[in-house]
Copies of this chain bind each other. A is one copy, B any other.
Amino acid sequence: MKKSLIALAVLAASGAAMAQSSVTLFGVMDVGVGHSSGTNSVTGLTNGGLKTSRLGVRGVEDLGGGLKAGFWLEAGINADTGDGNKNGAYGGGLQFKRRSTISLMGDNWGEVRLGRDNAVHYNNLLAFDPFEATGSGSLMKNQITGIDDRKSNTISYFLPSNLGGFYGQVQYIFGEKAGSAAPYNTNMTNNGDGYGVRGGYANGPLNIGADYMKIKKNALSDKDPTKASSALLQDAEAYSIGASYDFGVIKPFAMWSQEKAKSEGGLPEKKYQMWLVGLTAPVGPGVVRFSYNDLRNKSDNAPNDKSKQYALGYVYNLSKRTALYGTYSHVSNDGVAARGTGISGLSGITIKAGESVNAYEFGISHSF
């Protein structure tokens, strides 16, 4: 006999003792039919065009006195093939690479969270992209080594939610590289430690937020040049600022982001700037989404390396949990640029320098 995990909102609300031990099995299944063309073209099933397919377990325990403990395990899924999705790759088993955290939360003082989690920079990009950094319309990001969507071994402090709209997060990221004693060549393939901060103000129709994040190089790599190829050799920095305002009939978004690494150890500077404008707007029974973003390599002595992307989509909600959607995305590459769209689930798409890329996908997304 199968057991149904029935939504017991009424029961849960009526008994405080019961609410104290909630555990929630949750997820998203999102699959579409899509096409992407560059040098060649591929048609097939896409994954996570509206919301990234995932499976997770999370829970909160009320410890009394305004104190709570919580945990969150969330694994990506390649819903078109059934694989676990580890940082976007196909072919592996289920891993909680989207989030694996434990938290201690106080009503008045906020939250301390440990584990693998979104990087602050990614949190800010997510907030001000009409496509929420997901699917073929996802914004362009992560141009330099060390800047990733998520980081393992983080410890974060979040401001409480009762500050009249002000929000904030401080994050420390352990590189967990071996320390300064000899031999120097142990475990030197990883980064140094990192940290980040994000803050903003969200009240009524307005949301404005900014972040700064730094991942330090592996200081030991200087001492063992044989490890140089895999270690982070330059401090990586990222920062962004974004805003949105919900006028009701239209909600415009704007964002600016930079990623950079200073010239050091004989390695050249790396600097990439991206800006985005976009909107969401209720049209008919659904919501239109549009974004335009422009990414440029602004490093010293950089070749011509520019990409522009625009994306247009429509989301038709069948219920609060289920939607049909369609998205079209176009990337124009200039010079040596060969960037693609954010479409997921199609492989083997090759793109030549300077070539344009088109992608569209029509799918169904179901949250549970």
Residues of A within 8 A of B (CB): 1-9, 11-12, 18-19, 21-27, 29-33, 37, 39-45, 55, 57, 59, 61, 63-64, 67, 69-71, 73, 75, 77-84, 86, 92-102, 104, 114-116, 152-155, 174-183, 186-188, 318-322, 345-350, 363-364, 366-368
Within 8 Å by CB of A153, from B39, B45, B86, lies B45
Q: Indicate if the CB atoms of B6 and A22 lie closer than 8 Å.
A: yes
Copies of this chain present in the complex amount to 3
A117 to chain B, nearest CB (A): 9
Do A364 and B322 contact each other (CB < 8 Å), given the known contacts A31-B114, A93-B92, A94-B93?
A: no
Q: Indicate if the CB atoms of A100 and B82 lie closer than 8 Å.
A: yes
Within 8 Å by CB of A18, from B6, B18, B70, B153, lies B6
Do A349 and B3 contact each other (CB < 8 Å), given the known contacts A82-B99, A100-B77?
A: no
Do A114 and B176 contact each other (CB < 8 Å), given the known contacts A4-B12, A73-B29?
A: no
Q: Indicate if the CB atoms of B5 and A364 lie closer than 8 Å.
A: no
Q: Indicate if the CB atoms of B3 and A3 lie closer than 8 Å.
A: no
Q: DSSP class of A's interface residues: helix, strand, loop or mixed?
A: strand
Q: Indicate if the CB atoms of B4 and A7 lie closer than 8 Å.
A: yes
Within 8 Å by CB of A178, from B19, B40, B98, lies B40
Within 8 Å by CB of A179, from B11, B40, B67, lies B40
Q: Indicate if the CB atoms of A95 and B84 lie closer than 8 Å.
A: yes
Question: With A80-B152, A94-B95 given, can you name 16 additional A-B contacts, CB distance below 8 Å?
Answer: A4-B8, A4-B22, A21-B368, A25-B25, A25-B57, A40-B181, A40-B182, A43-B174, A61-B319, A79-B115, A82-B100, A83-B96, A93-B94, A104-B364, A176-B347, A178-B348
